[in-house]
Structure 1
Amino acid sequence: MAFDEGLAERIRNMLQGQDNVVEKKMFGGLCFMVSGHMAVGIVNHKLMARVGPNQYDECLSKPHTIKMDFTGRPMKGMIYVLPEGLQEDQDLKFWLETSLSFTSSLTPK
């Protein structure tokens, strides 16, 4: 499985202290599950962010984001953030907080 281990370590550091976080290898990369729901993941060097359907279009309007088309079809509520949009810790933190905000609204599994 190919994923950016440096990005994974940055995410681990930012998620320290967050309850119910589990790492799981899936989608050909690494995912971070929170309360049983996929919040973010890494595929190659891209961050896969679960932003939810209500914020989907707004998030896609931000720099360095593209539709997540892992299966060949865009997945509504999921986006990729390209490496250029993750260089600063504040940028990664924004995407983690956005994803955690959405997944925390879901019923725990």
Structure 2
Amino acid sequence: MAYNELLAKRIKASFELQPQMVKTHISEKKMFGGLAFLYKGKMTVGIIKEDLMVRVVSHKMDRVLQLPHVRPMDFAKRPMKEFVYVSLAGINLEEQLLYYIELGLEHAQHKLNER
């Protein structure tokens, strides 16, 4: 198992709660040995093994890193800019998962607006 398939199902269900104009632009792509969810081609969240991977806008990184069960994404043995991991304990509730999905969507929309 490259990634937690139950978590993938939960993420897909959470994206279904998004407005139509958002959910019609969500795609999936195998990345980092796991699965990533993209909004208009920009990565939002993903799964690597048992962890949720989340893109976070720079100015929110310090605050997000202080949340329980969140740590810097160190995929290549060093922290990656604007990426965090959230362990399963941090997303037990659907509201928690939705919070991180919305952070990831915010990051994607921010990157799209930079163009």
TM-score (norm 2): 0.89
Look up the match of 2:14. Answer: 14
Range with greater deviation from structure 2 (85-94 or 9-18): 9-18
Query: Structure 1 or 2: larger helix share?
Result: 2
SS at match of 2:53: strand
CA contact (8 A) 2:57 2:110 kept: no
1:107 corresponds to: 112
Q: Which runs of 5+ in 2 are unaligned?
A: none
Q: Return the letter of the residue paired with 1:40.
A: V
**Partner amino acid for 2:63?**
E
Partner of residue 100 from structure 2, selected from 74, 85, 95: 95
Q: Structure 2 CA distance, aligned partners of 1:98 and 1:52?
A: 8
* TM-superposed deviation, 1:98: 1.2
Give the TM-score of the pair, scaled to structure 1: 0.93
1:33 and 1:68 map into 2 onto residues whose CA distance is 18
Report the equivalent of 2:50.
Answer: 45
Indicate which of 63, 69, 72 corresponds to 1:67: 72
Q: Mind listing any 5+ residue stretches in structure 1 that lack a counterpart?
A: none
Q: Distance in 2 between matches of 1:63 and 1:53?
A: 19
CA contact (8 A) 1:52 1:76 kept: no
CA RMSD in angstroms comes to 1.5
Runs of 4+ in 1 over 2 A off after TM superposition: none
